[in-house]
Amino acid sequence: MNFQLDFIDDKVEFFEETELKVLEKKIEGKIEENKAILLGVHSVSHQMYVSEKGQRFYSAVVHFKRK
């Protein structure tokens, strides 16, 4: 019986929220989850958008790589 592990080398996750603090908590939670599968943060990109009604939207892309 062969037992083979396939590791994830790269993973990109997208996040969006209307409040910056909530977005930060989501990202921190995912960082902790991905540590369990030996992935660390490689890069983070973020943007903010203001709608015509004045509502703010925050988005982020986090690139995880195997350590």
Which pTM does this prediction carry?
0.84
Q: What is the CA angle 47-44-53, rounded to 5? A: 15
Domain ranges of the chain: 15-66
What's the distance, CA 54 to chain centroid? 26
| Per-residue confidence (pLDDT) for residue 5, from 0 to 100 | 80
Categorize the per-residue pLDDT at 6 as very low, low, confident or very high, splitting at 50, 70 and 90.
confident
Q: What is the CA radius of gyration of the chain?
A: 16
pLDDT for 25-52, tens place per residue?
Answer: 999 999 999 999 999 999 999 999 999 9
- Could you list the beta-strand ranges (E) of the chain: 10-17, 39-50, 56-66
Sign for the CA dihedral angle at 42, 61, 47, 17 comes to negative
**Torsions phi, psi for 18 (to 5 deg):** -95, -10
